[in-house]
């Protein structure tokens, strides 16, 4: 869940980019990092092998909009694509708020896409959660490869849950679809946070602890009095 720092008036969201090896997760973050103003980003940390496979995570805080006096910050991570690092995937997924699943559009990668998505569901399940209550986005990357798998086929194998989620085509190496994907998952997180905030305010009002205020600050003050 989002981390709220009342002292600094900051709400922090954790977004994890998930997907098979070499699908473009790190490329997404590298492009975002290269385009964001220096004042609004932290250092991009990447641990990789000689084969350019991410071994741990990329970390990128992005300062964003203000919600009722609180500044929002997004921390972006990737997980390693190789199966042998599944324990690290589980570690990175802890306390995740939103997920971007990056699929590789190459035909020969379809099985890996499916296996990776199944692995995501399994790892989320180990934390006692499901994708039904975590905002996530699908990104179909590498659309510039020769003869990519059709989008409708990728939708069929990956976006076939009861409730379909937003999906975006992308070429992360050029930036196509990168910020559209990030903006979409950010909007989902902000909408969920705003709804949960309203529910928390209503709860405190019903309990008589918060008679007149409807802000995060009001909740913090009510909690401090208890």
Is the CB of residue 12 less than 8 Å from the CB of residue 62?
A: no
Q: For residue 8, give the 3-state DSSP assignment.
A: coil
Residue 21 CB-half CA count within 13 A:
12
Residues 6+ apart with CB under 8 A from 54: 25, 26, 46, 47, 48, 78, 79, 80, 81
Per-residue pLDDT tens over the stretch 157-206: 999 988 999 999 999 999 999 999 999 999 999 888 887 777 755 665 56
The fold for domain 3-224 equals Rossmann fold (3.40.50)
Ranges 26-35, 48-57, 162-171: which has the least confidence? 48-57
* Residue boundaries of the structural domains of the chain: 3-224
In terms of average pLDDT, the best of 68-82, 171-185, 210-224 is: 171-185
How far is 68 from 174, CA to CA, in rounded Å? 35
């Amino acid at each position: 869940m989002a981390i709220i720092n009342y002292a600094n008036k900051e709400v922090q969201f954790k977004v994890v980019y998930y997907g098979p090896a070499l699908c473009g997760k790190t490329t997404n973050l590298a492009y975002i990092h290269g385009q964001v103003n220096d004042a609004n980003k932290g250092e991009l940390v990447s641990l990789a092998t000689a084969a350019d496979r991410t071994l741990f995570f990329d970390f990128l805080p992005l300062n964003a909009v203000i919600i009722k006096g609180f500044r929002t910050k997004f921390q972006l991570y990737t997980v390693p694509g190789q199966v042998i690092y599944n324990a690290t995937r589980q570690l990175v997924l802890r306390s995740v708020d939103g997920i971007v699943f990056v699929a590789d559009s190459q035909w020969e990668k379809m099985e890996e896409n499916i296996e990776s998505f199944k692995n995501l569901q399994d790892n989320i399940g180990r934390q006692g959660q499901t994708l039904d209550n975590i905002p996530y986005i699908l990104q179909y990357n590498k659309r510039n490869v020769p003869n990519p798998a059709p989008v409708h086929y990728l939708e069929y194998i990956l976006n076939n849950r009861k409730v379909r989620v937003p999906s975006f085509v992308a070429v992360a190496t050029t930036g196509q679809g990168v910020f559209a994907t990030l903006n979409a998952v950010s909007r989902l997180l902000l909408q969920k946070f705003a709804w949960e905030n309203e529910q928390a305010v209503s709860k405190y009002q019903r309990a008589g602890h918060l008679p007149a205020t409807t802000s995060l600050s009001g909740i913090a003050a009510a909690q401090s009095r208890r």
